[in-house]
């Protein structure tokens, strides 16, 4: 899973991070890096830049872990730092003017071809959205941010976040496999007749 909410970091590891213990740093990296990378890949749609986000996030974690007041808050702290690094990159003129996106590759999915197809569909659909909309959808739906939090993060309002979510879903509904209008229509027709 790519969600931070599904992860757990042993409190001993968190305390080790605070002490600067290298083994704890390696464990924290192994545990958290796939989530950071997953989020950055989905938001930024670029493997190289997503890896930069991973590197910057963990460098910051290692350098600043000693100042953490509450070691149990490491997970939330890492997520916040990673989100900020993603946002920073989205705001660069370089990223803004990118004309194409590189779709996610090397995603490790092991549960059968049907699931793989479904996940690839949603990856592709997500990748087709505007970067900021992708970010709103990911933070809201996957990471559980509120619209107020997202609005604040983007320097906008909660309403803006809501409208981005709706706009993104409008497109996702059309793109995501099995959810196209014709499928909807036939389902609606069958619902009417039953």
Partner 1 sequence: MTSRIPLSDLLTHRDGENMDPRLSAEIEADPESRVRLRALREIKHALMELPGVEPADDIWRDIDGSLAGSVNLARQRQSKPSYPWANVATAATVFFAAALGILWWNPGDGGVAGLPTAPLADLVLRSQQLESQVFYPQAGRGAAAAQYAWNSSQQALLYRIADVDSELNSDYEDRLPSALERERLWRQRVQLLESLVEVQRRQKPASRTALY
Q: Given candidates 62, 90, 103, 152, which one binds partner 1 under the rule CB under 8 A?
A: 62
From the list 46, 65, 77, 150, which residue makes contact with partner 1 (rule: CB under 8 A)? 46
Pick the stretch among 10-18, 68-76, 157-165 that binds partner 1 (CB under 8 A).
Answer: 157-165
22 or 69: whose CB is closer to partner 1? 22
Q: Minimum Å distance from CB 9 to partner 1? A: 14
Is residue 85 a contact point for partner 1 (CB under 8 A)? no
Contacts of 173 (CB under 8 A, 6+ apart): 179
Instruction: Report the b/e string of 79-111 with b at 16+ CB within 10 A.
Output: bebbbebbbebbeeeeeeeeeebebbeeeeeee
Buried b (16+ CB within 10 A) or exposed e, 19-29: eebeebbebbb
Q: Which is nearer to partner 1, 69 or 113 (CB)?
A: 113
Decide: is 112 part of the binding site for partner 1 (CB under 8 A).
Answer: no
């Amino acid at each position: 899973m790519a969600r931070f909410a599904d992860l757990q970091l042993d409190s001993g590891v968190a305390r080790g991070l605070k002490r600067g213990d290298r083994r704890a740093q390696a464990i924290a990296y192994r545990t958290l890096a796939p989530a950071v990378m997953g989020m950055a890949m989905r938001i930024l749609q670029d493997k190289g830049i997503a890896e930069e986000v991973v590197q910057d996030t963990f460098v910051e974690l290692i350098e600043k872990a000693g100042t953490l007041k509450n070691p149990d808050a490491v997970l939330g702290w890492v997520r916040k730092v990673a989100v900020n690094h993603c946002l920073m990159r989205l705001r660069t003129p370089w990223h803004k003017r990118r004309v194409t996106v590189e779709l996610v590759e090397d995603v490790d999915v092991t549960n059968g071809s049907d699931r793989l197809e479904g996940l690839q569909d949603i990856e592709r659909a997500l990748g087709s959205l505007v970067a900021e909309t992708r970010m709103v959808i990911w933070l809201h739906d996957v990471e559980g941010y509120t619209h107020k939090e997202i609005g604040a993060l983007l320097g906008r309002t909660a309403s803006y976040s809501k409208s981005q979510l709706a706009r993104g879903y409008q497109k996702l509904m059309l793109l995501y496999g099995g959810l196209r209008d014709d499928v909807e229509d036939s389902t609606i027709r069958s619902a009417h007749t039953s």
